Structure formats: structure tokens, C-alpha cells
Chains A and B, each alone.
Chain A
Amino acid sequence: MANIMALSKIIAAVEIGTHKVVTLVGDIVEGRSLDIIGIGEVPSQGVRKGEIIDLKAAGDCTHAALLQAEKMAGTTIEGVYLAATGSHLDGFANQGSATVSASDNYVTAQDIRRAVENAKSKVLPAGRVYVHHIRTGYLLDGNPIDDPHTMCGETLLVNYWHVHGDEHKIANFLRVINGFSLNVDDMILSSIASARMVATNEDRRAGVLVIDIGAGTTDYALYRNGVAIRTGVIAVGGEHVTNDLSLGLRINAKNAESIKLRYGKAIVEKEDRNEIRMLLGDYSIGDRPIPQMAISRIIQARMEELFTIIKNRLGSLASQQNAPAGVILTGGSARLKGLTDNASAIFGLPAHLGEIECCVSNRDLRQPEYATVLGLLHLGAMAQRPAESRRQSGLFHKLGSFFKFN
């Protein structure tokens, strides 16, 4: 019993999305199984395209989700791992260099540190802050290597992918969490969190492009050699598809959403030509026929545009050579029929819908829309230090949680 307790950790992950706010409180046991002991899910308000536009509304729904998860978990959340998204997030590649100082040309820790500092020394414009520094690889005398320490060479290069964002927009997210008397322990890109869940280690090592299509934003991450070498956020998501349908079919947003969920397809197929769908589906007054072809075309166009944007941003990196594992789609809007075919056609790479198999015992959560928050939980657990894992095991906490006034 003592051994089991020593290996059990409790962490909380929060995703404040455009469509929903999800909080998960998880218990990682021996790194093998992820037991979700608390779930809070509340429709999102005050968030548009992944950014907070109404602080109070966003705060209310986020706090409600946090409280929900806490009550279910029966424990007090002490810290939070937060998903970072929004079109304000941008990235750039930078390389740092250092000449090997030792006379015998063996690379030392100081050489590595100098190269890293050089890579991280780029000044950001005012109002921007760094979110991630992702080391993508070393080059020693032009040769890629995993670990240059004690290797022989003259010039050490280190490549980084830096992610930065708008300070005020990030501060809004922090303020929402702080309003619940919690601190954000770490902030992780949504795309990286999603990739953790839907891409295997082999996929990430070989090279894979993970695309998380949410309601307000689409986050992507290109992996190679196990690290994300490119990331990005596009302020286009499932809501835009709904808007397109609403405008294109001249229907209200509610019906457009319904049509999308019932008949949405991201690729036009032969049989769509003759298919007619009913708007409401119950032949009541106001119900009218809508050609399936129209629905498919609208959605296909939007998704093609989205994938094309991503492809253009990645440039030559989006290739079979760099992503032999292909494209993995995830997120709530990735369920659209034919989306993988659409993606495959645009990228010229095999594409499939990401599956969440490992580490999640709760079947209801193995859905694409939970990939981000699950990945966040997993990454948070890996980052959790052993001393922190018993923060909530003090006597008063245990006594306090025994008497639940919730």
C-alpha cells in the first residue's frame, strides 16, 4: 500500500477553448495508467478564436469547470497545467552556435550552454513573451547529433523552435486561473499536448504532422526526431465551417451546426450529387431540402483552405521525407467525414484520425475533442516532481476533504 501511494500523483489540466472549458484532475499510477478522478466540462463563454474576449464570462465558466472537477475528485487542486492556444501565438526558428573551447576539441557542458544561450538570445518585440523554447537538434561540424557532450568537434550548433505570444492575452488566461486561487504551474501548446496523446513515440521520432481542429482554432505541430520542430495556430476552426454553412445555405447558426453534425463531409463524393437532406429532418413547417453537394462543397472548401494554409506555412517541411508517419487529425472538428481524405489530398501524405488508446482508462474521454486536455494531463504528470506529488496529503487536507461541504 505504501509503495502504491508513493507512486500515485494528482495533477490538474485545464483547456479553455472556444466551444468548451474542460478540466481534468488525474491520478497517474506508476506511469502506466492515467486515472481521471475528476472531470469538469462547461460550455465556454467569453472566448473567441482561442482568445479571451470577456474576462468575467470566461472566468465564470472556467471556475465552474474547475469546481466541478474538484468536487468529483474529492481533493483540492493546488496547481494547474494550462493549454496555450490562440492566433497570437507565433514561432520562429533560431540557431545558436559556439566554438568548442577545449584544446582537444571535446565538447563540454559550457560549450553547450553557450550555444543554447546564443540560440535563446533573440529579442522579442515589445509586448511579446516567450512561451516555449523547443530544442530541435544539435549539429556538430554540420553533422546532426543527439547529444554533443564529450563528442569531438569544432563548431557546435543548436537549433531551437521558439514559440512566443502576446503578453496581455496570455495574462488574461493566467488571471482567469488565478481568480480561482490557483497558480498556473506550466503552460503548454495545445498542439503539443494533443500530439502527446494521438501520436506514438515512433510516429514522433519518424516524423508526423499533428493537426488539432477545434471549434475556434486549429493547432498544428510537426514532429521529427521526437521533438516538435514547427508549431502554429490558425484562427480557423469548426465554428467557421458552421458560419460558412450558415451563410452559404442561408440558414441560422443553430441549424447550420446541426446540418454539419448530421451531414457534414469534408470531401465531395459522387453520391452527393443526388442526395437531398432535410434542414430540420422532421418535415415540420420551416423544414426544407438542402442538397448534400452544397453541404460537402462548402465544408470541403473551408477545410482545403485550412490545410493549404498549414501546408504553406510549413513549406518544404510538409513532405514525405520529413513526415513519413503522415498526418494525424484530432480535435472535435476532426470527426467530419472525409476529412482524412481531404488532408491526404492536400498534403500528399497519408492521413488518419488520431486514436487515444494508451493510458486512459475512461472510455468516454477517448474522443478527439479531449486529446488536448488529456495530453496536458500526461505532460503535467511527467513534469511533476516527487516532492510535489504529496502536497495534498497533509493531515488538514485529508481531514478537510473528508468533510465535504460541496
Chain B
Amino acid sequence: MPTEPSSDSSLRSWKDIGQAPVKPLKSKSAWERKVSRVLNLAAALFAFFLLLLGCWGIRLLWREANQQQVLAAVPSRQIEFETDGVLTREWFLHTYRQPLESPLLHLDLQAIRTALLANGQILSAELSVTLPDRLKVKLSERRPILRVRVLSPTDGKPVDWLVADDGWIYQGELYPAEMLAGMPYLKGIKLVRSGERFRPLESMGPVAELLRSCRLRMPLVYRTFQSVSLEYYEGREDSPEATILIESRAVPQLIFSPRDIPPQLERLNGVIEHALKNKLKDLRRIDLSFPDKAIVRMDQPGRSKT
């Protein structure tokens, strides 16, 4: 039988009596109940946390099971996988799961090999079957030396592909992130599409040698490389005027000739030592493409040294 609360003090009902006491009357039972509710809430939160943990665990297990499924889908056989690069056995089994489901005697090794070689990362692939149940896969992978920003053939979005030392351009899989992050970008060239791929670049040998030599002999300098421009190289590789331009954080422009790399690196080393010794910080360009010379341009225009 509800009685409506009244604002008129003379018509007050029991509902006008406040139910938020200043001094709450706490008994042992009331405290016990409060503690119980707090514990219940804590347990509920813990259960929720366990639920989330469980979901995450299930997700991990599912992925693991998926991988196991991939392995399990392959008929019981030993698969020896060998590579000189970064690809793994699991990658191979996952990527070529379907063809591998066939019985060993019926495996189309040629088809698998063709598929492997179609992956630009793989330079060569050898597959052999040893009965009753052994499949041997030996791969040789390309070595990436540069990154190149392209528009993906599938969705048109900008994406980084890799340039190998033999000029092949490919997507690349399973490379460590820190390795890719330290790789300079390729600039100053025009890529030609070939289906979903790009036509390989020609005459990348000298570029690869230059970068490899820098990485080995002058690793600190190599780490500062940001991009390699072949604007004055591509198409005129045999010309004496062909140069390779490297942009770096230390010296904005380093110009090399594609020929006789080692003496150029020695001259570069000499210039750097001289600059360090004399505390020269405003080097803008070092041109090492001339024989027996290193032309250094400083920051102030018109001021250059030989």
C-alpha cells in the first residue's frame, strides 16, 4: 500500500524519513555481509579475468592445434627441411599443405618445386623422396639488400618489398623486423610490373658488392644509410659517368662509382678520419667516384675540398 511522499511538511509520510543514516548501525552480521559481498565481487572479477585468460589460452591452443593440424594433415612421414635463409619447416608445411597431403609415391615434386621457385624469396629448391616415408627439401634463399616501397599488386596499398642481390624483387617472409628496419630503401629506378610481380633489376651486382663491403668494413657508416639511389646508374651501368648515390644520416650524399669499390671505401675512410680529427661536422657530400680523389663538399656553398 504505497503512500506518496509529500513535500508539505505537515503532510509528511514515512517515506519522507531519509534512509541514508549519518551513523549507520553496523552489526557483526552487517559487516559479515559486507565482507561477503566484497569477496563475491572480487571472485566475480577474478572469474572474469580467468575467463579472459581462458579465451586467450584457447586461442593459443587453437593456433597450436591448427599448426598441429597442418602437420597432422600430412600423412605420417618424415620431412627433412633445410634452408640457408629464414624460412622454416612449419612455413613449408603450412604453405604447401595441400600438395603434401598426397601419398608419398604420388607426390608431384615438380609442381611443388615450381611453386617454391615462384616465390621470389627462394633461389633454388631441391626435393627428393626416399621410400618408404621420407621427403627431403633443400632450399637456397635470396639475400635481400634493399627495401623498395611499391603499390601492392593485390590491393594497391603501399607496401615494402625487398630487393635481392641478384635484382629480384619479392615480398619476403619471416625476416626479423630489426633486420628489415636497418635496410636502406632503393630509389631512382622505375619498376616494371610482370603479372603480380616486378621484373628483376639488372646489374645489381656492383650495388650489392658496395653495400656488402660497407656492411663488413664500415658497419657504423653502413648503419647510417637511409637510401640508395640508382638514378644515375640504371641504364648506364657501363658508362664511366654511372654513379650510385647513397643518402645517409651522417653525410647526406655519398657518391660511388660502380667500379673499384674497395679503393673508394678506403678513401671514404680517410675522409671520415680527417673529418673526425679536425672536428668537421658540416660535410654535405663526399664524391668518391673519381679515381684517386675524394671531392668533399661542405655545408657552405662554393666551398669544396679535394
A132 in contact with B25 (CB, 8 Å): no
**Contact flags (1/0) for A101-142 with B, using CB distance below 8 Å?**
000000000000000000011011000011111100000000
A406 in contact with B36 (CB, 8 Å): yes
Q: Shortest Cβ distance from A44 into chain B, in angstroms?
A: 14
Given A192-B1, A396-B44, A180:B11 Cβ within 8 A = no
A400 in contact with B44 (CB, 8 Å): yes
Q: Closest residue to A70 on the B side, CB-wise? A: B33
B32 in contact with A129 (CB, 8 Å): no
Residues of chain A in range 56-73 having any CB-CB distance to chain B below 8 Å: 56, 59-60, 63-64, 66-67, 70
Q: Is B13 an interface residue (CB 8 A)?
A: yes
- Would you call the interface of chain B mostly helix, strand, loop, or mixed? helix
Q: Is A179 an interface residue (CB 8 A)?
A: yes
A403 in contact with B1 (CB, 8 Å): no
The residues of B that contact A368 with a CB separation of less than 8 Å are none
Residues of chain A in range 4-19 having any CB-CB distance to chain B below 8 Å: none
Report the interface size for chain A: residues with CB under 8 A from the other chain.
52
Q: Closest residue to A186 on the B side, CB-wise? A: B2
Residues of chain B in range 1-36 having any CB-CB distance to chain A below 8 Å: 1-3, 6, 10-14, 16-17, 19-21, 24-30, 32-36
Q: Shortest Cβ distance from A382 into chain B, in angstroms?
A: 10
Q: Is B47 an interface residue (CB 8 A)?
A: yes
Q: Is A2 an interface residue (CB 8 A)?
A: no
CA distance A132 to B180 in the complex (A): 81
Most A-side CB within 10 Å, residue of B1, B34, B36:
B1
A180 in contact with B33 (CB, 8 Å): yes
CA distance A131 to B1 in the complex (A): 9
Q: Shortest Cβ distance from B18 into chain A, in angstroms?
A: 8
A121 in contact with B24 (CB, 8 Å): no
CA distance A229 to B27 in the complex (A): 39
Q: Shortest Cβ distance from A93 into chain B, in angstroms?
A: 16
CA distance A66 to B34 in the complex (A): 13
CA distance A179 to B6 in the complex (A): 25
Q: Is A401 an interface residue (CB 8 A)?
A: yes
Given A179-B27, A400-B44, A403-B44, A134:B1 Cβ within 8 A = yes
A131 in contact with B14 (CB, 8 Å): yes
The residues of B that contact A363 with a CB separation of less than 8 Å are none
Q: Is A38 an interface residue (CB 8 A)?
A: no
A129 in contact with B12 (CB, 8 Å): yes
B39 in contact with A171 (CB, 8 Å): no
**Contact flags (1/0) for A181-221 with B, using CB distance below 8 Å?**
10110111100100000000000000000000000000000
Given A400-B41, A403-B44, A184:B19 Cβ within 8 A = yes
Contact of A174 among B19, B35, B37, B47 (CB under 8 A): B19
The residues of B that contact A183 with a CB separation of less than 8 Å are 19
CA distance A192 to B25 in the complex (A): 29
Contact of A179 among B16, B30, B36 (CB under 8 A): B30
Q: Is B40 an interface residue (CB 8 A)?
A: yes
Contact of B3 among A70, A132, A184 (CB under 8 A): A132
Q: Is B290 an interface residue (CB 8 A)?
A: no
CA distance A231 to B43 in the complex (A): 48
Residues of chain A in range 153-170 having any CB-CB distance to chain B below 8 Å: 165, 167, 170
Q: Shortest Cβ distance from A113 into chain B, in angstroms?
A: 12
CA distance A84 to B27 in the complex (A): 22
The residues of A that contact B16 with a CB separation of less than 8 Å are 129
B3 in contact with A131 (CB, 8 Å): yes
Q: Is A383 an interface residue (CB 8 A)?
A: yes
Q: Closest residue to A68 on the B side, CB-wise? A: B29
B30 in contact with A76 (CB, 8 Å): no
Q: Is A283 an interface residue (CB 8 A)?
A: no
The residues of B that contact A184 with a CB separation of less than 8 Å are 19
B12 in contact with A130 (CB, 8 Å): yes
CA distance A313 to B111 in the complex (A): 108
Contact of B24 among A56, A178, A189 (CB under 8 A): A178
Q: Shortest Cβ distance from B45 into chain A, in angstroms?
A: 8
B33 in contact with A181 (CB, 8 Å): yes
CA distance A355 to B13 in the complex (A): 33
B3 in contact with A60 (CB, 8 Å): no
CA distance A150 to B10 in the complex (A): 32
Q: Shortest Cβ distance from B33 into chain A, in angstroms?
A: 6
| A-B contact sample (10 more), CB < 8 A, given A181-B34, A187-B14, A402-B44 | A56-B25, A60-B29, A129-B12, A167-B12, A174-B14, A174-B17, A175-B21, A175-B25, A179-B25, A405-B40
6 closest residue pairs by CB, A with B: A179-B25, A400-B40, A403-B43, A63-B29, A399-B44, A123-B10
Binding site for A on B (CB under 8 A): 1-3, 6, 10-14, 16-17, 19-21, 24-30, 32-37, 39-41, 43-44, 47-48
- 6 A-B contacts (beta carbon < 8 Å): A59-B25, A63-B30, A129-B14, A130-B3, A174-B14, A400-B41
Binding site for B on A (CB under 8 A): 55-56, 59-60, 63-64, 66-67, 70, 76, 84, 120-121, 123-124, 129-134, 165, 167, 170-171, 174-181, 183-184, 186-189, 192, 379, 383, 395-396, 399-406
